Amino acid sequence: MTSAAAPRPLEGRTALVTGAGRGLGRAAAEALAEAGAEVWLLARTEADLAAVAAGIRDAGGRASALGCDVTDATALKRAFAGLPTLDIMVNNAGTNIPEPFVDVSEDHLDRLLSLNVRAAFLAAQAAAKKMLEAPDRVARGGAIVNMSSQMGHVGAAGRTVYCLSKHAIEGLTKAMAVELAPQGIRVNSVAPTFVETPMTAPMFQRKEFSDWVHARIPLGRLGQPQDVATAIVFLCSPASSMITGTSLLVDGGWTAQ
């Protein structure tokens, strides 16, 4: 018996993912493409983007690469303005520099706020402007997903600036959702726990840190990129058409304690 074709809830939609060259951004881009969306991949490292785009196309999806540093406001705005259309945006680019609060330098503070807050704000703004160009936007709808973290809901030692930046993203998400709802654009955040990615891999080589994290996740395991990607697809799909201004915690129960 031939199995039924997998559902493609995002067929006919155009999506853009920032930080799409690796980690959570790559997983999100691949999942959106599998769900039927045409995906634009945006990041600094063009070689990474080319590899992701090629993999998506080899799997039968549609993907194009956009080399761009999201902290370059002029280049970022130009990249979004040049898109033919846009229905979905995953605001994923970000980083962390874990260190004690009293040791945080102004340089590290500025670097994290520049990428995690300022660039995220400008990327979301550029995405909304592009979406609003569609004359049928209210009927067609749109979705913006901001990449937050469980650290946008709680605090943690050694992560003061990161927590600051992700709490800012949660506030931005709510305000955007209220303002853009009349135009048919839904805005939500995804808030993962610690996920196994190239960025976190070195941290989990330290047994003490790995044990500390695992002990605080009731489900007893780290998140995987696919756990976050499926949540993103849900928030971008018609299945979540009544959901806006909320944060979907993909944290294994971390914040429930």
- Which positions are catalytic? 162, 166
20: its two tokens: 């799409």
d(CA 239, CA 73): 33
d(CA 245, CA 248): 10
CB atoms within 10 A of CB 217: 18
The three-state secondary structure class of 173 is helix
Cβ atoms of 252 and 239 closer than 8 Å: no
Q: How far is CA 83 from CA 21, 26, 65, 70, 163, in A?
A: 19, 20, 11, 15, 32
The three-state secondary structure class of 185 is strand
Structure letter (DSSP) for residue 117: I
d(CA 155, CA 69): 29
Give the chain's length: 257
Residue 155's identity, in one-letter code, is: G
Going by C-alpha positions, the residue among 142, 148, 176, 180 that lies closest to residue 164 is 148
